């Protein structure tokens, strides 16, 4: 689907306990994205987001800064296959999932 992109973003640094998931949900939804965000046991945050290419690109850049109080050290981005798109069958918006 032209103009659409689905990615997995892994953010490392001081990103847990600073409101990073709630911030991600709000910023992503404001950009019209859908997907999921969760803390990971290794201390990172994982976001799987889908939407217009330009909005996804802007969200990736926003994740490099994060909310006040966060200290982002590294952001890894990988494209998801169409079958793994977070909006393929799920609800609209961004869901906060339990830690994995």
Given the residues 5, 39, 48, 85, select the one marked as catalytic.
39
Does the annotation count 21 as an active-site position?
yes
Given the residues 5, 21, 48, 85, select the one marked as catalytic.
21
Structure-block tokens of residue 17: 């306990």
Does the annotation count 12 as an active-site position?
no
User: Could you tell me the maximum CA-CA distance found in the chain, to the nearest angstrom?
Assistant: 37
Cα angle for residues 9, 45, 88 (degrees, 5° grid): 50
Beta-sheet pairing, 34-39 with 4-14:
unpaired
**Distance between CA atoms of 75 and 59, rounded to whole angstroms?**
12
For residue 7, give the nearest of 34, 38, 40, 31 by alpha carbon: 34
- The residues carrying an active-site annotation are 21, 39
């Amino acid at each position: 689907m032209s103009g659409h992109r689905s990615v997995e973003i892994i953010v490392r640094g001081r990103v847990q306990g600073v409101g990073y998931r709630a911030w991600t949900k709000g910023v992503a939804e404001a950009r019209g994205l859908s997907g999921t965000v969760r803390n990971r046991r290794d201390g990172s945050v994982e976001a799987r987001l889908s939407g217009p290419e330009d909005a996804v690109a802007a969200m990736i850049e926003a994740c490099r800064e994060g909310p006040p109080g966060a200290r982002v050290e590294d952001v890894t981005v990988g494209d998801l296959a169409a079958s793994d798109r977070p909006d393929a069958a799920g609800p609209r918006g961004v869901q906060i999932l339990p830690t994995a």
